[in-house]
Structure 1
Amino acid sequence: MRELLRTTDPTIVAFATALLQGEDIDCFPMDVHMSVLEGSIGVLPRRLMVRDKDLFRARAVMVDNGISVAD
Protein backbone atom coordinates (compact mmCIF):
# COMPACT_ATOMS: atom_id res chain seq x y z
CA MET A 1 0.00 0.00 0.00
CA ARG A 2 1.16 3.51 -0.81
CA GLU A 3 0.01 6.84 0.57
CA LEU A 4 -2.00 8.77 -1.99
CA LEU A 5 -2.92 11.80 0.09
CA ARG A 6 -2.73 13.20 3.60
CA THR A 7 -5.11 15.86 4.86
CA THR A 8 -6.88 17.14 7.95
CA ASP A 9 -10.04 17.80 5.90
CA PRO A 10 -12.37 14.77 6.14
CA THR A 11 -14.43 15.99 3.18
CA ILE A 12 -11.43 15.64 0.87
CA VAL A 13 -10.94 12.05 2.00
CA ALA A 14 -14.62 11.30 1.32
CA PHE A 15 -14.51 13.01 -2.10
CA ALA A 16 -11.28 11.25 -3.09
CA THR A 17 -12.69 7.89 -1.97
CA ALA A 18 -15.80 8.42 -4.10
CA LEU A 19 -13.69 9.38 -7.12
CA LEU A 20 -11.48 6.32 -6.74
CA GLN A 21 -14.45 3.99 -6.30
CA GLY A 22 -15.90 5.42 -9.51
CA GLU A 23 -12.70 4.38 -11.29
CA ASP A 24 -12.70 0.90 -9.66
CA ILE A 25 -9.57 1.68 -7.64
CA ASP A 26 -9.57 0.20 -4.16
CA CYS A 27 -8.51 2.58 -1.41
CA PHE A 28 -8.22 2.44 2.35
CA PRO A 29 -8.54 5.47 4.64
CA MET A 30 -6.17 5.37 7.61
CA ASP A 31 -6.04 7.34 10.86
CA VAL A 32 -9.81 7.93 10.71
CA HIS A 33 -10.34 7.20 14.38
CA MET A 34 -7.43 9.29 15.64
CA SER A 35 -9.94 11.90 16.83
CA VAL A 36 -10.26 9.83 20.00
CA LEU A 37 -6.65 10.69 20.82
CA GLU A 38 -6.71 14.30 19.69
CA GLY A 39 -10.04 15.28 21.22
CA SER A 40 -11.86 15.84 17.89
CA ILE A 41 -10.04 19.08 17.06
CA GLY A 42 -8.83 17.84 13.66
CA VAL A 43 -5.09 18.43 13.95
CA LEU A 44 -3.94 14.92 13.04
CA PRO A 45 -4.04 14.25 9.30
CA ARG A 46 -5.89 11.35 7.74
CA ARG A 47 -4.26 9.30 5.01
CA LEU A 48 -5.72 7.59 1.97
CA MET A 49 -3.84 4.52 0.81
CA VAL A 50 -3.99 2.65 -2.51
CA ARG A 51 -2.31 -0.47 -3.85
CA ASP A 52 1.10 -0.01 -5.45
CA LYS A 53 -0.21 -1.07 -8.85
CA ASP A 54 -3.02 1.54 -8.72
CA LEU A 55 -0.91 4.49 -7.55
CA PHE A 56 -0.27 6.04 -10.98
CA ARG A 57 -3.94 5.89 -12.01
CA ALA A 58 -5.09 7.13 -8.60
CA ARG A 59 -2.74 10.11 -8.73
CA ALA A 60 -4.02 10.98 -12.21
CA VAL A 61 -7.63 10.91 -10.95
CA MET A 62 -6.75 13.17 -8.02
CA VAL A 63 -4.85 15.70 -10.16
CA ASP A 64 -7.65 15.75 -12.76
CA ASN A 65 -10.07 16.72 -9.99
CA GLY A 66 -7.87 19.35 -8.34
CA ILE A 67 -6.77 17.36 -5.30
CA SER A 68 -3.10 17.58 -4.37
CA VAL A 69 -1.44 14.23 -3.71
CA ALA A 70 1.46 13.05 -1.56
CA ASP A 71 4.86 12.61 -3.21
Structure 2
Amino acid sequence: MKKTKKIKIKLNGKTSTINDKTTLLKLLNELKVPSRKVAIELNMEIVNKKKLNSIKLKNNDVLEIVHFIGGG
Protein backbone atom coordinates (compact mmCIF):
# COMPACT_ATOMS: atom_id res chain seq x y z
CA MET A 1 0.00 0.00 0.00
CA LYS A 2 1.36 3.39 -0.99
CA LYS A 3 1.99 5.81 1.87
CA THR A 4 0.47 9.25 1.44
CA LYS A 5 3.03 12.03 1.41
CA LYS A 6 2.39 14.98 3.71
CA ILE A 7 3.11 18.63 2.98
CA LYS A 8 3.06 21.75 5.13
CA ILE A 9 1.02 24.81 4.25
CA LYS A 10 0.32 28.00 6.14
CA LEU A 11 -3.44 28.43 6.63
CA ASN A 12 -4.58 31.78 8.04
CA GLY A 13 -1.18 32.25 9.69
CA LYS A 14 -0.92 28.76 11.22
CA THR A 15 1.15 25.88 9.89
CA SER A 16 -0.96 22.87 8.90
CA THR A 17 0.04 19.44 7.59
CA ILE A 18 -2.11 18.04 4.79
CA ASN A 19 -1.90 15.23 2.24
CA ASP A 20 0.15 15.91 -0.87
CA LYS A 21 -1.96 16.60 -3.97
CA THR A 22 -4.91 17.89 -1.91
CA THR A 23 -7.03 20.25 -4.01
CA LEU A 24 -8.28 23.53 -2.67
CA LEU A 25 -11.86 22.26 -2.96
CA LYS A 26 -11.06 19.11 -0.95
CA LEU A 27 -9.39 21.19 1.77
CA LEU A 28 -12.42 23.51 2.01
CA ASN A 29 -14.70 20.46 2.29
CA GLU A 30 -12.50 18.94 5.02
CA LEU A 31 -12.58 22.24 6.93
CA LYS A 32 -16.36 22.45 6.37
CA VAL A 33 -15.94 25.89 4.80
CA PRO A 34 -18.72 26.86 2.35
CA SER A 35 -16.86 28.13 -0.73
CA ARG A 36 -19.72 30.53 -1.58
CA LYS A 37 -19.18 32.48 1.64
CA VAL A 38 -15.42 32.98 1.58
CA ALA A 39 -12.68 34.76 -0.32
CA ILE A 40 -9.55 32.68 -0.86
CA GLU A 41 -6.04 33.98 -1.35
CA LEU A 42 -3.26 31.59 -2.35
CA ASN A 43 0.30 32.93 -2.25
CA MET A 44 -0.94 36.55 -2.31
CA GLU A 45 -3.32 36.04 -5.27
CA ILE A 46 -7.12 35.82 -5.16
CA VAL A 47 -8.31 32.40 -6.32
CA ASN A 48 -10.95 32.04 -9.03
CA LYS A 49 -13.56 29.80 -7.37
CA LYS A 50 -14.27 28.02 -10.66
CA LYS A 51 -10.75 26.55 -10.40
CA LEU A 52 -10.94 25.22 -6.81
CA ASN A 53 -11.00 21.59 -7.92
CA SER A 54 -8.04 21.98 -10.29
CA ILE A 55 -5.68 23.78 -7.89
CA LYS A 56 -3.46 21.30 -6.05
CA LEU A 57 -1.77 22.65 -2.93
CA LYS A 58 2.02 22.45 -2.75
CA ASN A 59 4.52 22.43 0.10
CA ASN A 60 4.90 25.88 1.73
CA ASP A 61 1.81 27.37 0.05
CA VAL A 62 0.35 30.29 1.99
CA LEU A 63 -3.43 30.25 2.14
CA GLU A 64 -5.77 32.86 3.59
CA ILE A 65 -9.48 32.12 3.86
CA VAL A 66 -11.65 35.10 4.73
CA HIS A 67 -15.30 34.64 5.73
CA PHE A 68 -17.91 37.14 4.61
CA ILE A 69 -19.92 38.44 7.54
CA GLY A 70 -23.39 39.83 6.89
CA GLY A 71 -24.87 42.70 8.80
CA GLY A 72 -25.01 46.45 8.76
TM-score (norm 2): 0.29
TM-score (norm 1): 0.29
Q: Which has the higher strand share?
A: 2
Pick 1 or 2: higher relative contact order, CA cutoff 8 A, min separation 6: 1
